[in-house]
């Protein structure tokens, strides 16, 4: 089975479009945009822990936003000049899943960064006490 066939069998059509074809879900449509539970956000494709709920904030952008990844080695960032814009794409370092983009307009009392992430690229695992 090819990688493409593997991802198509594992993901819904919309998840595949976002995760493997670098798509974007509509703003304010994602299931994790307003999630306030304590827990961990995992890569939809491979299960790698990418973000922690303690680092999530309401950016008003319509997508789940985080000030930092769960560790320094789980997110790969690359330049993205698609759609006539200059942005930084965020991907899962383990499997290459497209997550979203990183911007320098995050909370200044923290990292100053905003990891703007598609809900369709994530799974959520609540803490045991939730």
**Residues annotated catalytic, as ranges:** 116
Taken in order 125, 10, 102, 64, the sign of the CA dihedral is: negative
Buried b (16+ CB within 10 A) or exposed e, 20-51: bebebbeeeebebbebeeebbbbbbbeebebb
């Amino acid at each position: 089975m090819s990688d493409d066939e593997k991802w198509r069998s594992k993901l819904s059509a919309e998840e595949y479009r976002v995760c493997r074809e670098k798509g974007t879900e509509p703003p304010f449509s994602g299931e994790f945009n307003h999630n306030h539970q304590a827990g961990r956000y995992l890569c939809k494709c491979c299960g790698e822990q990418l973000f922690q709920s303690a680092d999530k904030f309401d950016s008003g952008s319509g997508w789940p936003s985080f000030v930092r990844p769960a560790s320094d080695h789980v997110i790969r960032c690359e330049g993205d000049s698609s759609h006539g814009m200059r942005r930084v794409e965020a991907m899962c370092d383990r499997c290459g899943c497209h997550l979203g983009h990183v911007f320098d307009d995050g909370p200044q009392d923290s990292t100053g960064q905003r990891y703007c992430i598609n809900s369709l690229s994530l799974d959520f695992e609540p803490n045991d006490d939730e």
